[in-house]
Amino acid sequence: MSIDINEAWDELKRRVSECQKCGLCKKRNKTVFGEGPTDCRVVIVGEGPGADEDATGKPFVGKAGQLLTSILEDGGKIPRNTLYITNTVKCRPPENRNPTKEEAQACSEFLEAQLLLLHPDIVVTLGNIPTQFLLKTTQGITSLRGTWVNWRGIKLFPMFHPSYLLRNESRAPGSPKYLTWQDVKALKAEIDKLQGADTL
Ligand code: SF4
């Protein structure tokens, strides 16, 4: 990031930390802006913070976050700390419910600005909420996962949300976990391809 972009990034963080644009601000403890290197090639977008994330201000630190780390690092050989990780909404929806369309819309200026400033090659959306929101589709994650979609010139790759995988333990062929292990390998292959292109 250049100095101006760093300033814009810090300003964006400040605005999120003070935001009261939707009702999710009322019960939050901490906003969860995101975490990772700003010179990343890949941005992961989840749904919204859970209890652990709300308490720490960091994304994907609870059980789902631990599973995400395992999927990336054990399944894909992709170090988590090379990716930027954020969510569709930056404040915790009560009782871990899904964010509503209105809440996602209210928060979208922050996600849009993050993606503009980070300018990644790949955006991975986890679950229905970010996938349907960014792609403006009602198509579900089961049919979209594992497919590459052109989103504003960026490769967008939907995958199952790790919370869903925690509720579906089977690793049998065709199960969500099995498919996710295929997907993360496809993601790694695409990252390798991009890195290979850099060295040409
Ligand atoms: Fe603001 Fe987003 Fe939090 Fe709503 S979820 S209060 S729009 S930061």
C-alpha to C-alpha distance for 39 and 117, rounded to whole angstroms: 10
Q: What six digits make up the tokens of 166?
A: 């925690």
pTM: 0.96
**Ligand 1-lining residues (CB < 6 angstroms):** 16, 19-22, 24-25, 31, 89-91, 103, 106-107
C-alpha to C-alpha distance for 56 and 167, rounded to whole angstroms: 24
Q: pLDDT tens digits, residue range 91-134?
A: 999 998 999 999 999 999 999 999 999 999 999 999 999 999 99
Instruction: Calculate how far, in angstroms, residue 183's C-alpha sits from the geometric centre of ligand 1.
Output: 30
C-alpha to C-alpha distance for 88 and 108, rounded to whole angstroms: 7
End-to-end CA distance of the chain, in Å?
A: 23
Instruction: Please report the pLDDT score of residue 1 as a whole number.
Output: 57
Instruction: Please report the pLDDT score of residue 94 as a whole number.
Output: 95
Instruction: Please report the pLDDT score of residue 4 as a whole number.
Output: 81
Provide the residue ranges of all domains of the chain, joining segments of one domain with +.
Answer: 40-198
C-alpha to C-alpha distance for 180 and 146, rounded to whole angstroms: 8
Mutation to probe ligand 1, out of 13, 14, 20, 21 (largest number of atoms < 8 A from CB): 21
Q: What six digits make up the tokens of 88?
A: 């569709």
Class for domain 40-198, per CATH? alpha beta
C-alpha to C-alpha distance for 168 and 29, rounded to whole angstroms: 30
Strands 42-46 and 154-159: unpaired
**Confidence band, pLDDT 50/70/90 cuts, at residue 3:** low
C-alpha to C-alpha distance for 159 and 169, rounded to whole angstroms: 16
**Confidence band, pLDDT 50/70/90 cuts, at residue 5:** confident
* 119 half-sphere exposure, CB direction, 13 A CA radius: 6
Neighbours of 79 (CB within 10 A): 10
pLDDT above 70 for 149: yes
Q: pLDDT tens digits, residue range 177-200?
A: 999 999 999 999 999 999 887 766
What's the whole-number average pLDDT of the chain?
96
